[in-house]
A and B are shown apart, each in its own frame.
Chain A
Amino acid sequence: MSLAGFFQHLVNALSLGGIYALIAIGYTMVYGILRLINFAHGDVFTYGIYFAFYAVVLFLMPWWVAFVFSIFATAFLGAFIERIAYRPLRNAPRISALITAIGVSFFLENFAIVAFGGRAKSFNPQTGIYPTSFLNMINIGGVRIPVLTFITIGIVIAALVLLIWIVYKTKIGMAMRAISKDIPTTKLMGVNADRVVSFTFMLGSGLAAIGGILWAMKYPQVYPYTGMIPGLKAFIAAVVGGIGSIQGAMVGGFILGISEIMIVAFVPSLAGYRDAFAYAILLFVLLVKPTGILGVEVSEKV
């Protein structure tokens, strides 16, 4: 493979990995705080795309207003799901919460089929959803790469920096970190735990909406099951990086995105199996280091 070709794949891999990282953070933050695998997160991602789509097509918002609207709407959807379905089960056996999360995921998918229709909706710039100039090609040393790829990478980096700032430099971020260590003690310190959990869901869902919009611009369509595969892969990314760790989710996302693109690039005959790679990586990591790359070993009390 030529160097130019490799560079092209690398940029592509970084943008895909960035999207995975954005979704993976939602999984990892929720798991870090509630020890719950939020199966519905992939579908929250889908709804982020639908919100943006309908804001432009139905409410005729300019594209950038629509995108901001979608991020906030999705954030509230995430908090709403937590309020309705997960909060009553806070003290129930974890398996009940997990089954409920699967139920919420199926509800969101099937509701999307009923409400938005099962057929894929086109998410391309001709319908005015985003400017056509995003698809212009930039020529770097003989490689033609669409502007969109760079925009994706830029937005991902900005979102990740913002997230790190929120988690490590603000008061609510401190509360989030405290709650992930020990909920009862944090409550005794006068922190409103429910509000912090809601905020965590909003943050994760908002990031999922950003990831969703970037994803829809990259693969220009949306249908009720859009979020299923990227959701699963992002979850795998979170586990690979060490679930519960935000940096781990970022690392995992990029590992998954890069390996997926590179394996298909180097061994094109395996392209049909690209979705299976993620699982292979997952099994490998779980068997070698069950807590993931940056995860912390928790010894079980008897």
Chain B
Amino acid sequence: MEKSLSNSLKFILTLALIVVIGFLLFLANKRASEYVILILNLMAINMIFAVSLTLINGITGIFSLGHAGFIAIGAYVSTLLTLPVAQKEMTFLIKPLIYPFNQIQMPFLPATLIAGLVAAGFGYVVAAPSLRLIGDYLAIATLGLGETIRIIANNAWSITNGALGLKAIPPYTNIYWSWGWAFVTVLVIASLVKSSYGRALKAIREDPIAAKAMGINVFSHQVVSFVLGSFFAGVGGALWAHLITTIDPKSFAFSKTFEILIMAVLGGLGSISGAIIGASIYTVGLEFLRVLESPFKIWFINFPGIPGMRMVVLSIMLIVLMLFWQRGIMGRDELTWDLIYKLFTKSARRRGVVDE
């Protein structure tokens, strides 16, 4: 019989892990260079994106390709709420900003929450018609919706400043905001997945018709999952906008969804801990791949840097990943204390056999 860990021990271990991560982040915030802090922020934001996409795509089985649209909504709404009034007047040169936005300025937290809620509301409006579709049709409809949001952002000059985008966004996002929100995202989505609701979502992923026969209201479950995913995409968009401080419609093109999809697939589509791992590896790996774009030297041969090479390598990576390693790092399993414990005991026993 396998011995497993008691619940209270697991709770203490989790708490300890959170404290350790929190302490490391605190140290990083004090000591690390600005570059490292930027990467850490990006990592947390990418985790929010990847986990929310995993909820929609991996857990519920709605193949949505419109994530970038919800990120765009979050980014734009929060920015319009936090930009100082004077800055808004300077930015909106071609057409002035419409009424409610040109008067108000609010702190970061309410702006982020409103951004998430608007994205969620939009997700709700969008979900109702598009979830009637299945499979590939749904993928295309959501892709179209994401692109439509970008096109609207490109043309609605009196709200989004069109193609010029928004500049000089106050850089509110710091380690505490981004990692705090990442923690909330993981906590909420993981608890949802663990509940009976989450099991219903997984049942829908495996077979919508069978799930329906078991008395699950497929449509309303899908809507809840979609809306929750959109909420966190909006929050992540808000954090992202206040990290990089300039946004324009181009930043929310389909390639944004593609990036998030790579993270989720790398970690294992259907696993929340996988999404976290995938987002971390992707963010750090992308920085290491920068080497390819700057000149480098192997022995005495000089290689010139090739701009754009990073994305080529990345797309080859995704193709290879899909061809040879479809399940990703975690597959559909979660990284739990039980799993780690089992891995350790198993390897220990194997070593024991060899020693004899």
Q: Do B147 and A232 touch across chains, with their CB atoms under 8 A apart?
A: yes
A-B contact count (CB 8 A): 107
Partner of A100, one of B306, B308, B322: B322
For residue A225, give the distance in angstroms from its CB to the closest CB of chain B: 9
Residues of A within 8 A of B258 (CB): 102, 106
Q: Do A99 and B261 touch across chains, with their CB atoms under 8 A apart?
A: yes
Query: What string of 1s and 0s marks CB contacts (under 8 Å) between B242-267 and chain A?
Result: 00000000000001001001000100
Residues of A within 8 A of B133 (CB): 286, 290
In the complex, B285 has a CB within 8 A of chain A:
no
Q: Do B322 and A96 touch across chains, with their CB atoms under 8 A apart?
A: yes
Q: Do B312 and A279 touch across chains, with their CB atoms under 8 A apart?
A: no
A89-B323, A96-B322, A98-B63 as given contacts; A37 in contact with B308, CB under 8 Å: no
Q: Which residue of A lies closest to B132 (CB)?
A: A287
Q: Do A99 and B318 touch across chains, with their CB atoms under 8 A apart?
A: yes
In the complex, B24 has a CB within 8 A of chain A:
no
Q: Do B323 and A85 touch across chains, with their CB atoms under 8 A apart?
A: yes
Q: Do A107 and B141 touch across chains, with their CB atoms under 8 A apart?
A: no
Interface size class of A (residues with CB under 8 A): 35 or more
Residues of B within 8 A of A102 (CB): 258, 261, 318
Partner of A239, one of B137, B148, B154, B210: B137
Distance of A113 Cα from B309 Cα, bound (Å)? 9
Q: Do B132 and A283 touch across chains, with their CB atoms under 8 A apart?
A: no
Residues of B within 8 A of A104 (CB): 315, 319
Q: Do A282 and B261 touch across chains, with their CB atoms under 8 A apart?
A: no
Residues of A within 8 A of B147 (CB): 232, 275-276, 279
* Residues in chain B within 8 A of chain A (CB atoms): 63, 129-130, 132-133, 135-137, 139-141, 143-145, 147-148, 151-152, 154-155, 209-210, 255, 258, 261, 265, 269, 306-309, 311-312, 314-316, 318-319, 322-323, 326
* Residues in chain A within 8 A of chain B (CB atoms): 31, 35, 37, 85, 88-89, 92-96, 98-100, 102-104, 106-107, 110-111, 113-114, 118, 232, 235-236, 239, 272-273, 275-276, 278-280, 282-283, 286-287, 290, 300, 302
Kindly list the 6 A-B residue pairs having the minimum CB-CB distance in the complex, ordered from nearest.
A107-B315, A279-B144, A103-B318, A110-B311, A272-B155, A106-B315
